[in-house]
Structures are given as C-alpha cells and as structure tokens.
C-alpha cells in the first residue's frame, strides 16, 4: 500500500527548513547504509547527532503523530528517527531493500522497518530526476511530490532514487515499526477505518456504526503486536 499525504508542512515552513538545510554541513550518505547498499548509495546525509536532524525530525514526528491519516495507515509502534538527505547533480541511490532491523546510535531499542516514509523538502520544479521509484504489487511507481508532502510505503519494497540531473533534492526519511506487521492486514484496517470515518460524518447516528467500529477493533486485536 502506497499512501500520499499532502501538506504535512506548509509552504512557509518548508521554505525555512530548506534554508537551514542549504547552510548545513553534510556528510557522506554511506555512514548509515548497510554493507551492500553502501555500494548503491551516492548522496549526502546529515549525521544522526546533528542538531538540525534532531530538530526537523522531532517536528516531523510531532506533526505526524497528530495526523489522522498517518496514524490510521501506519499504526505506528516505534520509529527510527528521521534522517535528512541531499542529492546533488549526479547523486543517486540504486535499487535496494532496506535492512530489516535498525538501531539508532546510543539507543538500545531496535526497530523493525515495516514502513518507510519519505518527506520531500524540495519542489519538483527545483530539480530534474531524483524520483523515488518504488516497485509494488501494481508495478513500478515514480514518485516526486510537492515540498511538504510525504509518501508512506512498505519496507519490503524494492526502491531507488533516480540520479538528479539538475538542481538539488532535499528530503527526509524514517522507518516505522507498525503495531501490525503485515502490509495486507494494515491495508485492510486502513480501508475499514477510512470507511468508518466517512460514515461517522454522513450518518453519525446509524446503529451499525457501533458494530462496524467494534469489528475494526476486534480485527486489530487479532493482529496487533505490542
């Protein structure tokens, strides 16, 4: 399941973030890549300990933790904190699957990477190339979103970032361990929750809503891991 969530940050917020990123001291992206993916990865990244990573990461998570669509689609349990990356002309990250388990530096807790999230900080017109290419069950999708938008996709998917051929592409990404491990089960719950939300708006007093909401929670109870 691929989910596009628009406008997580406003145009002004994104402008301020991008200005800060333009001034930052970037490091080689290979620092957080696994052994195999280091060969495929050619970009810049802000170190995990960089104050700007922490500040932007915290702002993203705060925003998403109160975002009903993100919460319903991801059913987050815990996250590997957001990292920031920068692709200049010629930078690319070839096809790979992310490591299954990540551990943030200095933190004993491990995170299973059920879901990946990429949040775009550059506008599509500011660079050429740099599409996030994701292979899912419907084939290959090329994703290039407005600054401030994000895409949520399963950690099991093969993906890459096309070479940038003009301009600079700033983005952030992070991994989420979901309360529901299987993408297909999470997708069912999301569909059902979305339908319940719509019915709650359109026919708030319908007695079947209680039954349907109960069924949602009973399904979630079967599948949840805490």
Positions touching Ni ion (CB under 5 A) are 98
Nearer to Ni ion, 29 or 193 (CB): 29
Nearer to Ni ion, 98 or 131 (CB): 98
Compute the least distance from the CB of residue 42 to Ni ion, in Å: 13
Compute the least distance from the CB of residue 207 to Ni ion, in Å: 46
Compute the least distance from the CB of residue 33 to Ni ion, in Å: 9
Identify each DSSP E strand in the chain by its residue range: 3-5, 27-28, 41-42, 44-45, 76-87, 92-96, 101-103, 110-112, 115-120, 127-129, 132-136, 139-143, 150-154, 159-161, 164-167, 169-178
Which single residue brings its beta carbon nearest to Ni ion? 98
Nearer to Ni ion, 72 or 116 (CB): 116
Compute the least distance from the CB of residue 194 to Ni ion, in Å: 27
CA 80, chain centre distance (Å): 11
Residue carrying structure tokens 């987050």? 76
96, 158 Cβ separation under 8 angstroms: yes
Q: How far apart are CA 14 and CA 179, in angstroms?
A: 30
Nearer to Ni ion, 93 or 190 (CB): 93
């Amino acid at each position: 399941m691929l989910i596009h969530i628009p406008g997580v940050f406003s145009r002004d917020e994104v402008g301020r973030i991008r200005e800060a990123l333009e001034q930052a001291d970037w490091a080689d992206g290979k620092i957080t890549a696994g052994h195999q993916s280091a060969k495929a990865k050619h970009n810049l990244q802000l170190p995990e300990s960089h104050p700007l990573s922490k500040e932007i990461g915290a702002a993203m998570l705060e925003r998403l933790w109160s975002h009903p669509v993100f919460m319903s689609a991801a059913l987050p349990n815990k996250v590997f904190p957001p990292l920031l990356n920068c692709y200049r002309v010629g930078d690319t990250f070839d096809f790979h699957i992310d490591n299954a388990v990540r551990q943030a530096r200095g933190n004993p807790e491990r995170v299973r990477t059920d879901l990946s999230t990429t949040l775009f900080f550059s506008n599509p017109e500011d660079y050429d190339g740099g599409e996030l290419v994701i292979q899912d069950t419907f084939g290959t999708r090329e994703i290039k979103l407005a600054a401030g938008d994000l895409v949520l996709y399963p950690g099991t998917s093969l993906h890459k970032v096309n070479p940038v051929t003009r301009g600079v592409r700033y983005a952030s990404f992070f991994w989420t361990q979901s309360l529901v491990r299987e993408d297909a089960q999470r997708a069912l719950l999301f569909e059902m929750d979305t339908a319940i939300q719509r019915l709650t708006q359109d026919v708030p007093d319908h007695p079947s809503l209680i039954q349907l909401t109960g069924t949602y929670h009973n399904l979630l109870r079967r599948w949840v891991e805490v």
